[in-house]
Amino acid sequence: MPWNLNSDSPIFVQIIEHLKIDIVSGKYKPGDKLPSVRDLAAEAGVNPNTMQKALSDLESTGLVHSERTSGRYITEDDNMIKNLRKSLVDVQIEKFFKSMEKLGFTGEEILELVKQYAEK
Amino acid sequence: MNNLLEIQGLSKTYGSVTALNDVSLSIEPGHIIGLLGPNGSGKTTLIKIICGLLQANSGTVLVDGNPAGTADSRAAISYLPDQTYLDGNMTIKAIVEMFKYFYEDFEEDRAMEMISSLNLNPNAKLKTLSKGNQEKVQLMLVMSRRAKLYILDEPIAGVDPAARDYILRTIISNYEPTASMIIATHLISEVEPVLDEAIFLQNGSIKLFKPIDDIRAEEGMSVDELFREVYRC
Amino acid sequence: MLGKFIKYDLKKTAPVMGVLCGLTILLGVFCSIFMHVSQNPGKYALYELLGLMVLCVVSPLYVITQYYYKSLYTNEGYLTFTLPANNKMIVSSKIIVTLIWATIFCASVFISLVAITPESVVHVFKEGIDPKALLMIIYLLIVMFLMGLSGVMALIFSICIGSRWRNHSTIGSILCFFVLGITLLSVYLKNLGMSVAHRGDIFWGYEDLFCVPNLICSIVLIAVFFVATVNITSKKLNLD
């Protein structure tokens, strides 16, 4: 099943997002070996060069590192994954708050609504 | 000669109708390129000239340094036409044997593996297969070669969505980084993620030739959406 | 590569063409058997001739030209003309295969005809034959064969010309073959007439039909049709 990609942003950016979520959600655990570029590209249903570009980008952030011959691995640095999770959380919360503010709620009201929702 | 495909000033007319008008382009190894354009924009004409099935009125086409239509240029190309081209009385096995006999770069193991993954009977005659399966057999033959330039003309037109997924997956997983591939299609959104570059053809001329992600970053829309905008009627 | 192409096409057409050649020979053998046990041998000689005409003119020519036409000028051309060879080599190989089958078939017809009267062969072996007469027979057979081949080449050339008309290729081919056939026939008959006149005779004989000018004409025609078909098909190749 190919990954769901939307139409407005570059494909490699969306691949990066997708892989980050896979790392945070634990699909790939710290120290895990990633599938080959070709296999990942086939799984995602994307161009192998685009997948390569996304992986190189992840490498430059340190989330993924490559061993010369054996392939690419997820970082074992727990702090880095924690930070990644936090940054993804921030993104989601920011999105949520923005759309709630559009509906005319203030910060306090939103917090109260979230609390009520969680208790339901 | 680094370019797999080098086209200079190519023109083709059918009587008074211009099919291609001064087309020049070059393609390096390692790309999957979408040849996009509405019906009648010259996609198939361009492809047939590259394969040596049509003669151009002017211009040159070099495939891996060899003029189109020569034995060496044909050996470098693995071509999937937009229609069935196999003798329906042949069995799958016989056609695999034929490809093995004529093409040095044909990998029989790869072909047999795909046949079994498709649950096709190697002894079945081609004319007994459904249209979708016939197209899959042709794609299987084309992708089982280790060619330098793959040219697929409408590989996913007329097959169901499951077969489309299979075909696109086959293309990705059999693709070699030293080769390049040209996919002509009008079903852009389905093929877009598989491409890394797009050529827009309009009335026989190249309108745009750019990396997919550059188009998305610059235009803020997918290639499919851009296509609809450019070719709006 | 040329050898590779010829080998492949011969192999592919061998089952059908082999059966037709085999039937031709068997026909001669059976007619011969019936003629030797029957009271009315003439009847079976007629059957042999009728059978040969059907087998000879219609079926093998149809089978092999159909194969030739389909693999070059229909959808299958997309496969044929993307095989790793240039157009000239591909077209030449197809023509050569057709001519090889024509030769094999002519040989089967000859065997079939000889089979009707095995006594004559036995006679020749027992009594010996005048070497001059033997040479004459061989010469006549060769000229007859070449004239036949020129007809086959005219057909191949007609298919090539016919396919230039996109939607009327069959009619075009038939028309072209009709015109070429009449031309060929008139050339051969003119040579025959000149040969008869040269001898100062009023009746024609086999030596007039298979005279040297006809030998030369048939060879020239075969060569011209061959070169023209190869060049037109490869230079004007336009598959739609």
Asked whether the beta carbons of B122 and B96 are under 8 A apart, the reply is yes
Q: What long-range pairs does B222-229 form, CB within 8 A, spacing at least 24?
A: B222/A7, B222/A8, B222/B189, B222/B192, B223/B34, B223/B36, B223/B188, B223/B192, B223/B195, B223/B198, B224/A7, B224/B188, B224/B189, B224/B192, B225/A7, B227/B36, B227/B188, B227/B200
Q: Which of A1, A8, A45 is the closest to B193 by Cβ?
A: A45
Mind giving me the DSSP string for A68-94?
TTTEEEE---HHHHHHHHHHHHHHHHH
Does one domain contain both C122 and C141?
Answer: no
Query: Hey, what amino acid is at B21?
Result: N
Quote the tokens at residue B96: 């695999």
> How many CB atoms neighbour CB C218 within 10 A?
26
The interface predicted TM-score (ipTM) is: 0.87
Q: What CA–CA distance (Å, rounded) separates B37 from B79?
A: 19
Does one domain contain both C106 and C11?
Answer: yes
pLDDT tens for C179-206 read 999 999 999 888 888 888 888 877 887 7
Does one domain contain both C71 and C159?
Answer: no
Q: What percentage of chain B carries pLDDT values higher than 90? A: 50
Asked whether the beta carbons of A45 and B169 are under 8 A apart, the reply is yes
Does one domain contain both C116 and C143?
Answer: no
Domain that holds residue C74: 1-126
A and C touch with 3+ CB pairs <8 Å, answer: no
Facing residues of B205 across strands? Answer: B202
- Higher per-residue pLDDT: C36 or B192: B192
Does one domain contain both C150 and C229?
Answer: yes
What per-residue confidence (pLDDT) applies to A1? 52
Does one domain contain both C144 and C179?
Answer: yes
| Low-confidence winner among B57-66, C6-15, C157-166 (lowest mean pLDDT) | C157-166
SS (HEC) of chain C: CHHHHHHHHHHHHHHHHHHHHHHHHHHHHHHHHHHHHCCCHHHHHHHHHHHHHHHHHHHHHHHHHHHHHHHHHCCCHHHHCCCCCCHHHHHHHHHHHHHHHHHHHHHHHHHHHHHHCHHHHHHHHHHCCCHHHHHHHHHHHHHHHHHHHHHHHHHHHHHHHHCCCCCCHHHHHHHHHHHHHHHHHHHHHHHHHHHHHHHCCCCCCHHHHCCHHHHHHHHHHHHHHHHHHHHHHHHCCCCC
Facing residues of B14 across strands? Answer: B17
For C11, C43, C69, C118, C149, the CA distances from C55, given in Å and listed in that order, are: 21, 18, 20, 21, 16
Q: CB–CB of B172 and A5 under 8 A?
A: no
Our CA-based measurement puts residue B192 at a distance from the nearest CA of chain A, in whole angstroms, of 8
Among C79, C105, C126, the domain boundary falls at: C126
Does one domain contain both C111 and C159?
Answer: no
pLDDT tens for C60-103 read 888 888 888 888 888 888 999 999 998 899 999 999 999 999 89
What per-residue confidence (pLDDT) applies to C207? 78
Cβ-based contacts of A57 with chain B (< 8 Å)? none
Asked whether the beta carbons of B157 and B44 are under 8 A apart, the reply is no
Does one domain contain both C156 and C70?
Answer: no
Among C126, C148, C169, the domain boundary falls at: C126
Does one domain contain both C91 and C148?
Answer: no
Does one domain contain both C152 and C239?
Answer: yes
| Optimal mutation site among B166, B176, B196, B226, interface A, most CBs of chain A within 10 A | B196
Return the residue matching tokens 């040159």. B60
- DSSP alpha helix (H) spans, A4-106: 11-24, 37-44, 48-61, 78-102
What per-residue confidence (pLDDT) applies to C211? 84
Q: What CA–CA distance (Å, rounded) separates C63 from A78?
A: 75
Does one domain contain both C22 and C101?
Answer: yes
Indicate the average pLDDT of chain C.
85
pLDDT tens for B6-40 read 999 999 998 888 899 999 999 999 899 999 988 88
The model carries a pTM of: 0.85
Among C73, C107, C126, the domain boundary falls at: C126
CA nearest neighbour of C84 among B66, B49, B75? B75
Cβ-based contacts of A16 with chain B (< 8 Å)? none
Our CA-based measurement puts residue C166 at a distance from the nearest CA of chain B, in whole angstroms, of 13
Q: CB–CB of C84 and B102 under 8 A?
A: yes
